[in-house]
Each structure stands twice: as structure tokens, then as C-alpha cells.
Chain A
Amino acid sequence: MDTLITCSVNGLVLSAIYILVALGFSLQLSIMGIFNFAHGAIYMVGAYVTYGLSVGLGLNPWVSLLLSVILVGAFGLFVERFCFRPFQSQITRMIVMAIALILILQTAVEVTLGGVTRALPAFVPGILRVGFISVDAERIFTFCIGAVLMASMTYLIQKTKIGQQMLAVAQDAEGAALQGIDTHRTAATATVIACATAALSGSLMATIFSMNPFMGDNILLKAIQVTILSGIGSIGGILAGGLIMGLLNAFLPVLTEASIGELITILIVILILLIRPKGLFGYELF
């Protein structure tokens, strides 16, 4: 019973983070048609900026979290304009660009702070006790932030003008441009949102687990898995896909060995790709 509840809580927290990162990844994929392999590196940079501001400069952790989100969001603007826009619809060169970005970001962090594993102090320290169950308050907080952000992202995309513009560009960029939508501005907005959420989820994840310059590699793979599972361009699909992935990742290591659990997840993803390339809820991109 205890294990079940711990696993569920962990699964939900993991799901929230996966969904946040995958949302950003999927937004960039559907709007710009780019596989942003550097998304994991940006997630890592977000965590390190928060660390640098709160531990290094001694700022209030909440202020540094906010500053990190803003700074990395602004960095997203730069990334979209100078790294992605010149290579739109050239996937091969796009991937190389992302690799260069990853190398630069990871090495920059490694050179300045060293490759050692660090921990970010919790934003909400303490343990919540409900009856006989006790959970880290930080995990509950992360889940709440994730849920609020997911709800606001869904609202943003479904109800506001900019969100509708994003959906239009994702469906057909030329058609959207003909309707007077500025596709470049839409792409920039999507990248900024993606980078900001990545920075937020990176900081939250660094408080629960630890952080090192290569923490983004794993989460990037998870984001790709969620995107494939749910299908491209479907917000509801990403919520479902992220939940499935998070729970799988929380329960499988308990039920079997960790390595077998990993293998099962990958087999599921490969099978989905082979049998239903558009994912459970999405549409085919190309």
C-alpha cells in the first residue's frame, strides 16, 4: 500500500514534468517542424541559472526561479532567430545545429561550474503527513505548478488569439501566412514559451533529484517518447501520453528490474511508431 502510494505520487510528479517538457518540444515540432534536440540542454541551463542566482548570488529562491524563467525565455528568442530560422525545413542541418547548441551549453556549464552533481535547495521544504502517508511537500508543489501550467497552456492554445495562430501555423504554415498570421512571430512565441517552461521544469526537477550538466539528455528522450506516444499537435494527447509515460516510469522499476523497465518503455515507443506513426491522438506531420 505504501509502495503503491509512493509510486503514484512519483508517477504524477514525473508526469507533470514530462508533460511540461514535452509540450514545449511538441509546440516547436508542430509549429516550426524542427526536432529541437537542444530542448534538454535548455532545461539543464534553466536549472543551473536558478542555482547560480539563488545559491551563487544569494537571491531569494522564488525571485531566482522567476528570473531564470525570464532569462531562459529571452534566450529562446535568440535561439529561434539565429539558430532555427535559417534552417527551417532542413531537418538534417537542423539536427546538427541542435547538436552544436547542446555542446556549447553543456560545455559552458561544465567549464564554469564543473561537472559535479549538485542539488538545488527545495523551494518548499518539509514533509506533508496525511494519515499514515507522508510525502515531500516539494513533490506536491511541483505537481501543483505543473497542473496549473498545463491548464494555462491549454487555455492559451485553445482560447486565445496567439494560441489559435499557433494551431493554424502548425496545420499549414503557408495557409496561415496567407491569412495574415506572422509565422515568424508565432514561432518565436512558441520557442519562448517552450524555453520558459523547460527552465521552470528543470529548476523544479533539480530540487527533487539532482542536477549535472547532462541531466537534459534523459528528459529529452522522455519528451520525444511522450510526443511520439501522444502524437504531434495534440495538446490533450500530450496530457494523456505524459501521464502514461510518467506512471510507467514510476511503476516499472518497482515491478521489474530497472533495465527491463527501460526496455519495455522503448519497445512500446517503437511499436507505436511502427504500427501507428501518428501516435495515439495526433496526426501525421509530413
Chain B
Amino acid sequence: MPIGSSPKQRKRITSIVFYATIIIFLALLPQLGLPVYPMHTLIGVFIWIIVASSLRLLDLSGQGSIGHAAFMAIGAYTSGILAKFLGWSPWITMPIGVLATGVIAFLVAIPFTRVRGIYFTMVSLFFGIGVLAVNQVFSKFTGGYSGIGSIPMLFGYNKTPYYYFCLALLVICLSIIYRMEHSRIGLTWKAVAQSHAVASSIGINEAWQRILCLGVSCCIAGIAGVAYAHYYSLLTQETFSFNTSINVFVYMTVGGPRYFAGPILGTAALILIPEQLRSLREYVPFIFAGILLIVLFLMPQGLAGLPDQFRQRFARSPKVKSLPAEEGVSKRAP
């Protein structure tokens, strides 16, 4: 059978071409003379897309988290402190930071498997706040509220290398997430999310799958964390606060947690649109809230669900695949 003959394959090729075009376009941007400030904004967008996508990976297994920034913080602080106080090269401390995030995530995941659904969300919320409190207790190393500054940077003050570095990280992380989602593991996680009882009955080790999912997702968040630490070179209490976790959750939900493109679109829209309207100063949160309200009331599937929504509305034949009920923390019972 020639390549591209079945509709499924054709759809896949289209999406690969689509994503490749976007990546090539983004890679060419600095060559086309992208000014410094937009480049800075885009680097931030790349980092937050990684975090939001990793949060969606966690959501696949039915674990909605509103403390995800805490895992980012673990990676960022580990790498930042090692690089600053021990004088190690960022290239060594960054893998250590990611590893530390993964190890801690695995360790906390073991007790966290006791709770499901909304209780997991609550545990994640308080884990996030607990990490901040630990940050306060060890303020000798972490700087407490004021944080640590002048963390060694990766490439000095030129932003172009950072741009390519973060773009590469983004592509790698998104490929990992995409492969995992569309492999057997991803299917297993979705099964666990839909019904843990049924999943257990067909031989899935529910607890292990959830631990694995949390571990992988938090490793990816840790990657974003170390990239953040060595780009901005300043970490404060506010950087990874409860608000940050909530923001990441909002990016994912507004984009549409059911779609791979959801967190990407959501993050891009919610960072770039308020950024464009920066001149409104203190009224910018209204813009942010306005986007949330528009998406909530008009786009039940999120931004990435718009094509499906239109297809459903303007469908001529009744044979159109109906959308499944919304996934997420709400549907499941422990």
C-alpha cells in the first residue's frame, strides 16, 4: 500500500507537515531579523508550552494537578544553586536538576497514588505550597522571598542561542510527549483515567502507571525549570508560586486538554495577546480574564477544539463523529 493512501495516514502526514512548517518558520525567525524583545517573549512562550504540555500528559492519566510549578521549581532551584554556589558548569547542573525533579516526583508519587480525582488535585495544590514553604525554611540557600539572582547563564547575553536552545528543547519534549501519548503507554494512561476499576480488571497496574506518568511529566516540567533558571538567571518565590501553577493549568484548559495542540495554542494565546496589549498597563488582567470568559462560554472544547466544533455545527450529514464527553477531573469517581 503506498504511503498516504489511508485517511488515517493522510491525516498524520498533514499534521506532520503542518508542525514541521511551523518549526521551520520559528527557526528562521531570528535570521529574518527578529528584534530582541519579541525573541525574549517567544523564549518564555517556548518554556511555558513545555510546562503546559507536560501538565496535559499528567492529565491524560486522570491526575489534574494545580501544583505543577513546584516540580519546575525543584529542577530550577537545584540546578541554579549548584551552578551558582559550587561553580559547576550549567551543562552539568541542568541534567542533575532534571534528575532531581524526576526522583522527587517518583518519591512523592508513591503516596499520592492513594488519592484520586479532586483529592489528588488538592494534594497537588498543597504540595505546591509546601515546596514554597520549604523554600522559605531553607532561605539561607534559596534566598527566600527575594530569591537567588545572577545564576550563571548558558550563552551570555546574546539571546539568539537561547532561542534555538529553547526551540530545540520544545521540539524534543513535544516529540516525547506525542510519542508517549500515541503509544501503548498513552493508551494505558487514558484507560486508567477513564475508569481505574476497569483498568485494574484487565491487568493494568494502576498505581505504577500513575507513578510513571507523574514521574515522566515532572521530568519534563523539570527540563523547563532548568531552562528557565539559566535563561532568566533569577529565581524568586513568586516565579513558581500558586499563581504560576494555576496559570499553567489555565493555559492547558483554555487550549483544550483533549488535544495535543491544546496547551500549545492556549499558552501562545494567553501570553502573546496580553503581551501585544501591554500598553493598557494595569488593565491587562482584564484582557486575560476576557479571553478566559470567551473560551469558557463559546468554546467548550477549548481553542484547539474549534475546528471540531465548527465541523460539528456545519455538518451536513448526521454521520459526523460526535465529540465524546469532556475528559478531565470531573468525570471520574474514585
Residues of A within 8 A of B (CB): 35, 86-87, 89-97, 99-101, 103-104, 106-107, 110-111, 217, 221, 224-225, 228, 257, 259-260, 262-263, 266-267, 269-270, 273-275, 277, 284-286
- Are A259 and B136 touching (Cβ within 8 A)? yes
The answer, yes or no, to whether B180 is at the interface (CB within 8 Å) is no
> A interface, by DSSP: helix, strand, loop or mixed?
helix
Q: Tell me, rounded to whole Å, the shortest Cβ–Cβ distance linking A119 to chain B.
A: 23
Given A107-B286, A285-B118, verify A267-B130 contact (CB < 8 Å). Answer: yes
Q: CB < 8 Å: which of A97, A111, A286 contacts B333?
A: A286
The answer, yes or no, to whether B212 is at the interface (CB within 8 Å) is no
Residues of B within 8 A of A (CB): 64, 66, 111-112, 114-115, 117-119, 121-123, 125-127, 129-130, 133-134, 136-137, 139, 144, 242, 246, 249-250, 253-254, 257, 282-283, 285-286, 288-289, 292-293, 295-297, 300, 326, 328-330, 332-334
- Are A111 and B292 touching (Cβ within 8 A)? no
Q: Tell me, rounded to whole Å, the shortest Cβ–Cβ distance linking A40 to chain B.
A: 11
User: Which partner residue on chain A sits nearest B332 by CB separation?
Assistant: A286
28 contacts between A and B (CB under 8 A): A92-B329, A93-B253, A95-B246, A95-B253, A96-B295, A97-B296, A99-B246, A99-B250, A99-B289, A100-B296, A101-B289, A103-B292, A104-B285, A104-B289, A107-B283, A107-B285, A110-B282, A228-B122, A259-B133, A259-B137, A260-B137, A262-B136, A263-B134, A263-B137, A270-B126, A270-B127, A273-B122, A286-B118
Q: Tell me, rounded to whole Å, the shortest Cβ–Cβ distance linking A220 to chain B.
A: 10
Q: A99-B246, A100-B293, A286-B332 are in contact. List 19 more A-B contacts (CB 8 A).
A: A91-B118, A92-B329, A93-B300, A95-B253, A97-B296, A100-B296, A103-B285, A104-B286, A106-B285, A107-B282, A107-B286, A110-B282, A217-B242, A221-B129, A221-B242, A262-B133, A262-B136, A270-B130, A286-B333
Q: Tell me, rounded to whole Å, the shortest Cβ–Cβ distance linking A257 to chain B.
A: 8
CA–CA, A50 and B54, complex, Å: 43
User: Which partner residue on chain A sits nearest B326 by CB separation?
Assistant: A90
Q: Tell me, rounded to whole Å, the shortest Cβ–Cβ distance linking B291 to chain A.
A: 9
Chain B contacts for A267, CB-based, 8 A:
130
Chain B contacts for A228, CB-based, 8 A:
122
Chain A contacts for B111, CB-based, 8 A:
274
Chain B contacts for A106, CB-based, 8 A:
285
Q: Tell me, rounded to whole Å, the shortest Cβ–Cβ distance linking B124 to chain A.
A: 10
- Are A86 and B297 touching (Cβ within 8 A)? yes
Chain A contacts for B112, CB-based, 8 A:
274
CA–CA, A87 and B46, complex, Å: 31
Chain B contacts for A110, CB-based, 8 A:
282
CA–CA, A198 and B14, complex, Å: 53
CA–CA, A267 and B254, complex, Å: 31
- Are A111 and B118 touching (Cβ within 8 A)? no
- Are B118 and A90 touching (Cβ within 8 A)? no
CA–CA, A217 and B139, complex, Å: 22
CA–CA, A110 and B300, complex, Å: 30
Chain B contacts for A263, CB-based, 8 A:
130, 133-134, 136-137
Chain B contacts for A273, CB-based, 8 A:
115, 119, 122-123, 126
Chain B contacts for A91, CB-based, 8 A:
64, 118, 121, 328-330
User: Which partner residue on chain A sits nearest B115 by CB separation?
Assistant: A277
CA–CA, A101 and B127, complex, Å: 24
Chain A contacts for B246, CB-based, 8 A:
95, 99
Q: Tell me, rounded to whole Å, the shortest Cβ–Cβ distance linking B213 to chain A.
A: 17
CA–CA, A89 and B295, complex, Å: 18
CA–CA, A259 and B300, complex, Å: 41
Q: Tell me, rounded to whole Å, the shortest Cβ–Cβ distance linking A232 to chain B.
A: 10
- Are B253 and A92 touching (Cβ within 8 A)? yes
CA–CA, A172 and B187, complex, Å: 33
Given A110-B282, A270-B130, verify A95-B66 contact (CB < 8 Å). Answer: yes
User: Which partner residue on chain A sits nearest B114 by CB separation?
Assistant: A274
Q: Tell me, rounded to whole Å, the shortest Cβ–Cβ distance linking B108 to chain A.
A: 9
Q: Tell me, rounded to whole Å, the shortest Cβ–Cβ distance linking B53 to chain A.
A: 16
Q: Tell me, rounded to whole Å, the shortest Cβ–Cβ distance linking A148 to chain B.
A: 31
CA–CA, A101 and B42, complex, Å: 28
User: Which partner residue on chain A sits nearest B59 by CB separation?
Assistant: A92
CA–CA, A110 and B288, complex, Å: 15
- Are B296 and A93 touching (Cβ within 8 A)? yes
3 tightest CB-CB pairs across the interface, nearest first?
A: A259-B136, A100-B292, A92-B328
Q: Tell me, rounded to whole Å, the shortest Cβ–Cβ distance linking A273 to chain B.
A: 5
Q: CB < 8 Å: which of B115, B253, B285 contacts A96?
A: B253
CA–CA, A31 and B288, complex, Å: 29
CA–CA, A274 and B116, complex, Å: 10
CA–CA, A249 and B115, complex, Å: 26
- Are B283 and A111 touching (Cβ within 8 A)? yes
User: Which partner residue on chain A sits nearest B327 by CB separation?
Assistant: A92
User: Which partner residue on chain B sits nearest A93 by CB separation?
Assistant: B296
Chain B contacts for A217, CB-based, 8 A:
242
- Are A274 and B118 touching (Cβ within 8 A)? no
CA–CA, A111 and B144, complex, Å: 29
Chain A contacts for B286, CB-based, 8 A:
103-104, 107
Chain A contacts for B115, CB-based, 8 A:
273-274, 277
Chain A contacts for B66, CB-based, 8 A:
95
User: Which partner residue on chain B sits nearest A101 by CB separation?
Assistant: B289
- Are B126 and A266 touching (Cβ within 8 A)? yes
Most chain B CB within 10 A, of A92, A97, A262, is at: A92
CA–CA, A260 and B111, complex, Å: 22
CA–CA, A60 and B283, complex, Å: 32
CA–CA, A69 and B233, complex, Å: 46
User: Which partner residue on chain A sits nearest B252 by CB separation?
Assistant: A92
